[in-house]
Structure 1
Amino acid sequence: MHMAATLQRSLERAQCQFDVVPHPHSASSLESARVASVPAERLAKPVILDDRKGHYLMAVLPANRHLDMSMVCKGAEQWQLSSESAIAGLFKDCELGAVPAVGEAYGMHMRVDPMLTRQQDIYFEAGDHESLVHMSTEQFLRLVPNAEVCELCPQA
């Protein structure tokens, strides 16, 4: 079980209470929810976007939902999905595809879908493909105090 060092430091700094939930190896957020036996709507899936000018944004939504790019882009903002190589460079202490949903710890702005903030507790990748961090939503919001809560995916 490997927790990303950046995530570990951020959790310690914010004095958050959390559990680490080990699970069999998984290749996606949705699969992580399934193999860890947690509801997919409570697993926070980060999507990394960039503006082609060196700025990054982490959009965080439930693992069972899809990001609506038209809901992310506000006004003149022009975001696109970041490349795997860019993501690997941003999250050097994480396995590719196992990015923790805590963009602030990595120096990027965050937007979080309110479907997650309405959950009592949430889960997110710990930086590898075999463990999740579990905490109350209140603790999560304390961990990412500058995250903007806004609609990122269509209602079911």
Structure 2
Amino acid sequence: MRMAATLQRSLERAHARFDLVPHPHSATSLESARVANVPAERLAKSVILDDRHGHFLMAVLPSSRHLDMGKVRKDSKIWQLTHEADLARLFKDCELGAVPAVGDAYGMNMLVDPQLTRQRDIYLEAGDHENLVHMRMDDYLKLVPDAEVCELCH
């Protein structure tokens, strides 16, 4: 597939410098880190949540960590994992399970764990299971200027 068109447009609009890192097909973000030979703490994993009332939220954390739902606080809503059918509808230009960590580009609010923002660079899914986008952290933060940084992992 290559890079999702929405991600590509977002990178171009932000004038972000990045590299595309091809890797053998992988099913999970942790496996992507392993087969691409990149540090798992620098690979951003997107977890999509919703309030069952049409509001969606992207939680972004290192692929080496797990989301602590108790730490997800945004707009005093009760957030739950989004159903796969909704993911296919929200991320039409992405393969299921390869959602780029750029909620802004897809019209949703974002929370980013500070364990990622403390890294000098970041890797994110490109929209398929065979490519990662690699960029400096300052370029990533320009790409997602409205992202809220808060603890998300346990």
Please give the range of the TM-score, normalised by the shorter of the 2 chains. over 0.9
Corresponding residue SS for 1:96: coil
| Distance in 2 (alpha carbons) for counterparts of 1:83 and 1:42 | 26
- Identity over aligned residues, as a percent? 74
2:102 corresponds to which residue?
102
CA 1:89/1:130 → structure 2, altered by over 3 Å: closer, same or farther? same
Alignment of 1:4-153 (within 5 A): 4-73=4-73, 76-153=76-153
TM superposition shift of 1:135: 0.2
Distance 2:117 2:76 in 1: 27
Could you list the per-position Cα deviations for residues 25-59 of structure 1 after superposition, in whole angstroms to 9, with x for gaps in the alignment? 00000000000000000000000000111000000
CA distance in 1, matches of 2:36, 2:120: 18
TM-score normalized with structure 1 length: 0.97
Name the aligned partner's letter for residue 20 of structure 2: V
Structure 2 unaligned segments of length 5 or more: list them. Answer: none
Off by >6 Å, runs of 4+ in structure 1: none
What's the CA shift for 1:77?
1.9
Secondary structure of the residue that 1:27 maps to in structure 2? coil
Alignment partners' CA distance in 2, 1:57 and 1:74: 8
CA RMSD of aligned residues (A): 1.0
Number of residue pairs aligned between Structure 1 and Structure 2 = 154
Structure 2 residue identity aligned to 1:63: S
Name the CA shift for 1:147/1:26 in 2 (closer, same or farther; >3 Å). same
User: Structure 2-normalised TM-score?
Assistant: 0.98
